[in-house]
Chains A and B, each alone.
Chain A
Amino acid sequence: MWTIAKIAWRNIWRNKLRSFAVFASVALGLWAGIFATSLANGLNEQRISNVIDNQLSHFQIHAPGFRDNFEINKVITNTESIQQKLDSNPKVKAYTTRTMVSGMVSSASSSKGVQIKGIIPENENAVVNLEKFMVEGEYFGKAGRTPSIILGKTLADKLNVKVRKKLILKFQDGNNEVIAAAFKVKGLYKTVDTRNDEMTVFIEQPKLNELLGFSDEVHEVAILLNDINNIETISPDLKAAFPNLLVESWKEVFPGLDTADQLQEQTSMLLLYIIMLALCFGILNTMLMVVLERVREFGMLMAVGMNKLKVFFMVMFETIFLMLTATPVGLAMAWLTVWYFSKFGLDFSGQSEGFESMGIDPIVYPVLTYDYYPKVIMLVVAAAILSAIYPAIRAVRLNPAESIRKL
C-alpha cells in the first residue's frame, strides 16, 4: 500500500497544469465557502447582539399577559421593591423601567402610528445606550414648558419635522379616554434598525405616567447583566425573586432570534456542502480524464499482476492526495482572511441601506469557531472519496488485453 500511495503521490505531479487547476479550485472553493460562512456567522452574531444591546437587553420583566397585546392596565406595581432587589444583585449591571402605550404621533403635515415609551433617560442609557444613537439635537436634558420627545430620524423625515418643532401625541389611557399632548422634538436618533426607529418614540416616564394617571406603575423592566453568559444561571433566581411577574431572558422574549441563530449555522454548512459538491463533479471529471489517459498504463499494470484492489486504491489515493494538498492552502487563506477582517471589519457601507433595514451594522466582523476547520477537512476527504469512486471503478473495469491493444 505504501508503494501504491507513493506512486499515486508522484502521479499528481505528472500533469502539473491540470493538478494545479484542481488544486486552485479546491483551495479557492474552500476559501470562499469558509469565508462566506464566517461572514454569515458574523452578520448573524452582530444582528443578534444588536437586537440584544439596543432592544431586548438580557432580561425583561412584565406583568403576566402584558406582552400578549400590550394592555395598558397590566402593570408592574411594586416598582420600588423590584428596584431594591435588582440594586442588591451583584450580577446585574444596570436596569431601566419603561411605561409604554401605542398611539399616534402627528405633525402639521401627517400622522403615524407609533409605540410611545416613557423612559428614565439616564437609566435607559445605562441599559441600551440610546444617547449613542442621537444624530441631531440632544438627548432629553432640561425641558422647557413643553415636554421633550425623541424620535427616529426616519420617522421625523416622514412626518416632515425638525428638532425644536412641535408634535402631538394621541393615545387612550386605561379608561379608554383619549389623551392628547404636545411635545417638542428634542433630538433625533438613528440605530441600525431603521424599521424599529420608525415605530418607536421616547418621552420621559414621569410625563407619560402623569398623562396615563399612573403613580409609580411601569410596564417593563429591562435588565442588563455584567456578563451575558450568566443568563442561564441567574434566570431561576430572578424568576423566584418575582413570583407574581413574568421574568424572561432575551431568548424567551424573542425565541425567533435564537432559532434563526441555529438555522443560520445549518445554512452556512449547507453552503460549504454545495461548494464541495460542485468541486466533486469537477474532480470526478478530472480523474476520469486521468484514468482514460492512462488506460494503457492501467492495462499494463493489471497485465503484469497488479490486482484490482490496488488499482482502485491507486486512483483513490491520487484523488485524496490531490485534494488534501490543496486543503491546507485553502484553510490558511480562509484563516488569514477571517482573522484580518475579524480585526478590521469588512465595510459594506455601499450597500448599507439593505443592511440597516435588516438591523445590521454595515461593517461586518466575520466569526468562525475553530471546531469548524476539522469539519472542513473531514468534508474534503469525504468529497475526495466520493469523486474518486467512479473513476476508480472505471480503472478497475478495464480489460488488460484491450487496453494494451490501444497502442
Chain B
Amino acid sequence: MKEIISIQNLEKIYNPTKVAVHALRGVNLSVNEGEFAAIVGPSGSGKSTFLNLIGGLDNPTSGKVIIGGNDISKLSANQLIEFRLQHIGFVFQAYNLIPVLTSKENVEFIMLMQNRSIKEREERAISLLKAVGLEKEIDRRPVELSGGQQQRVAVARALASKPDFVLADEPTANLDSKSAENLLDIMERLNQEEGITFLFSTHDARVVKRARRVVTLEDGLIASDESRS
C-alpha cells in the first residue's frame, strides 16, 4: 500500500504571543492510499486543527506534513493554493458551494480552475453528480437543494479535481441521520469502487461505526489508532 499522507511530530500553538493554546502537541500519523479513516475525539481535542494542517489551510508551529512525498510546509502561499487545487479534495461542514452557481457549475468550477477542457468538465461533472445520486438536481442552485444534497454536491466537487485524497471536517454535522447515512453510503461506495482515500472527522457514533480506521485525538495527542476490517 502506498503512503500518501505522512505526519511527523506535528505541533500547533495558536496565539503564541498571548494566551497560547496548544491545539496539537506532536502528532504522528501515516495514511495509505484507499483508506477510509475517521478522526474522532471530544470537542476542542484538535480535530479541525489537524485536518486544516493536513489540507495546507494553515501552517504548523513545528513538524512536517508530507503529501505524496512533498513537504507542504515548504510551499509559498500561492504554491499551497495550487497544491490544494491539484491534490486535495475538501468537504466542509457547510458553505461548501458557490450560491450563485448550479450544482453542475459548482462541480465544473474546480475543473475550470485546473484549466480542463469544456468537454471534460461537462462530462465529468455530470457523471460525478450521477454518482452521488443527483442527476435530477444538476441545474439547481444550492438554495434549491436540501442540506444532504448540498453535501453530496460538495463530495462530487471534491472528487472533480481528481485529488490524491478527500478531507472532510464533520461533513455530516449539519445533516439529519438519514441524510448522514446516505452521504456515508456514497462516500463508502466511492472508496470501495474507485479506491478514493477519505479522511474525515466526526462526532457522530454512526459515522464512526462505518470507518475502517478510527484515530482518536485527545487534548492534541493521538490517544488511540484502531484499524478494523
Contacts and interface: CB of A to CB of B under 8 A. Distances in A.
Q: Do A and B come from one complex?
A: yes
A77 interface: no
B78 A305 contact: no
Contacts of B99: 14, 297
B138 interface: no
Interface in B46-64: 48, 52, 55, 57-58
Contact of A407 (B93, B100, B101): B93
Query: Per DSSP, are chain A's interface residues mostly helix, strand or loop, or mixed?
Result: helix
B98 A307 contact: no
Contact of A401 (B58, B110, B112, B113): B58
Contact of A10 (B77, B82, B94, B100): B100
Size bracket of the A interface: 20 to 34
A109 interface: no
Contacts of B96: 300
B176 to A, nearest CB: 18
B98 A404 contact: no
B81 interface: yes
B126 interface: no
Interface string B157-185: 11001000000000000000000000000
Interface stretch (B3-11, B84-92, B192-200, B221-229): B84-92
A143 interface: no
Contacts of B101: 7, 10
Contact of B85 (A3, A11, A14, A304): A304
Contacts of B57: 303, 400-401, 404
A399 to B, nearest CB: 7
B79 to A, nearest CB: 10
B45 to A, nearest CB: 15
B92 A307 contact: no
Contacts of A308: 77-78, 81
A14 B100 contact: yes
A305 B161 contact: yes
Contacts of A405: 48
A401 B94 contact: no
A10 to B, nearest CB: 4
Interface in A23-48: none
B109 interface: yes
A396 to B, nearest CB: 10
Contacts of B157: 304
A304 B91 CA distance: 9
Interface string A311-352: 000000000000000000000000000000000000000000
B89 to A, nearest CB: 8
B82 A404 contact: no
A399 B55 CA distance: 13
Contacts of B110: 304-305
Nearest to B98: A7
Nearest to A2: B112
A310 interface: yes
A3 B58 contact: no
B84 A305 contact: yes
Contacts of B77: 308
A301 B100 CA distance: 13
B58 A304 contact: no
Given A305-B161, A310-B113, A407 B82 contact: no
Nearest to A8: B100
B58 A303 contact: no
Interface string B129-162: 0000000000000000000000000000110010
Contacts of B58: 399, 401-402
Interface in A271-314: 296-297, 300-308, 310
Given A303-B90, A401-B57, A297 B95 contact: yes
B100 A304 contact: no
B103 to A, nearest CB: 15
Interface in A221-265: none
Nearest to A405: B48
Contact of A304 (B48, B52, B78, B84): B84
A304 B90 contact: yes
Given A307-B82, A404-B57, A297 B98 contact: yes
Contact of A300 (B82, B85, B92, B114): B92
Given A296-B95, A407-B93, A305 B112 contact: no
Most chain B Cβ neighbours within 10 Å, of A297, A301, A304, A401? A304
B151 to A, nearest CB: 13
A306 B90 contact: no
B36 to A, nearest CB: 21
A12 B178 CA distance: 36
Contact of A7 (B48, B52, B92, B100): B100
Contact of A3 (B94, B95, B109, B161): B109
Given A10-B100, A303-B84, A305-B84, A407 B95 contact: yes
Contacts of B82: 305, 307
Contacts of B90: 300, 303-304
A404 B170 CA distance: 12
A262 to B, nearest CB: 48
B166 to A, nearest CB: 11
11 contacts: A7-B100, A297-B95, A301-B98, A303-B55, A303-B90, A304-B157, A307-B81, A307-B82, A308-B81, A404-B95, A405-B48
Given A7-B98, A303-B90, A305-B114, 19 more contacts: A3-B109, A10-B101, A14-B99, A14-B100, A300-B95, A302-B81, A304-B84, A304-B157, A305-B81, A305-B110, A307-B78, A307-B82, A308-B77, A308-B81, A399-B58, A401-B57, A404-B57, A404-B92, A407-B95
